[in-house]
């Protein structure tokens, strides 16, 4: 039986361990540019970064997983609707398929709801995220500012009616899209 997993917000001392978790997770992923850890570093420097939603999964006092939710906006100007963007989700290869990723996602959703956020966007695996309630982004009049396969574009309303009358192009923090 595996030791219990603790999920907590990141601390400054976790940054090296988080980068290592992300690098190890994406090392063998064919579509990865192996720079996801650099995206996290950039996002920490933006207004979109929320320390309470930068989550570390720890097992036996070792970081084995990570998930980041950052602010994003749908639409422009005063009518823009705040949302969250999920990226990355990382679990080191030797700990995958043990429920750590699911625990991170569930905890992130719970924390986001408690902070008053009403939705979460992701560009991810269409075989993974629908189990958490993610729906095709194409079900809504919301579009991404970049090309991605439609089946990978998803959104999760965190409350009933959360996306009612929400429309527009998603605006991510500058660090999210930079390479």
Task: Report the distance separating Cα 21 and Cα 172, nearest Å.
Answer: 24
Region 82-100 average pLDDT: 96
Q: What is the pLDDT of residue 179?
A: 45
Q: Which pLDDT does position 31 carry in this prediction?
A: 75
* Distance, CA of 105 to CA of 103 (rounded, Å): 6
Please state, for a pLDDT cut of 90, what percent of the chain lies above it. 85
Q: Where are the domains of the chain?
A: 5-177
Residue 176: the pLDDT is 73
User: Of residues 172 and 78, which shows the higher confidence score?
Assistant: 172
pLDDT for 110: 98
Express each pLDDT in 98-137 by its tens digit: 999 999 999 999 999 999 999 999 999 999 999 999 999 9
5-177 carries CATH number 3.40.50.10190: no
Does 153 score more than 50 pLDDT?
A: yes
Rounded to an integer, the average pLDDT of 40-55 is 96
Nearest partner of 10 among 90, 119, 122, 102, judged by Cα = 90
Kindly indicate the confidence band of residue 34, based on its pLDDT and cuts at 50, 70 and 90.
Answer: confident
Q: What is d(CA 141, CA 46) in angstroms, rounded to the nearest whole number?
A: 27
């Amino acid at each position: 039986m595996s030791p219990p997993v603790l999920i907590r917000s990141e601390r400054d001392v976790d940054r090296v361990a988080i980068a290592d978790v992300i690098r190890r997770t994406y090392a063998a992923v064919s579509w990865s540019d192996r720079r996801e850890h650099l995206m996290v570093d950039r996002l920490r420097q933006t207004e979109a970064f929320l320390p309470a939603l930068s989550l570390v999964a720890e097992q036996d006092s070792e970081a084995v997983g990570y998930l980041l939710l950052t602010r994003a906006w749908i639409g422009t100007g005063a009518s823009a609707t705040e949302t969250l963007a999920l990226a990355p989700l990382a679990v080191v290869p030797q700990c995958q398929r043990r429920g750590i990723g699911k625990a991170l996602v569930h905890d992130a959703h719970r924390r986001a709801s408690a902070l008053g956020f009403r939705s979460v966007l992701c560009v991810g695996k269409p075989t993974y995220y629908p189990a958490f309630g993610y729906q095709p982004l194409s079900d809504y009049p919301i579009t991404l500012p970049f090309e991605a396969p439609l089946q990978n574009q998803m959104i999760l309303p965190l409350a009933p009616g959360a996306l009612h009358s929400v429309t527009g192009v998603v605006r991510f923090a500058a660090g999210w899209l930079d390479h």
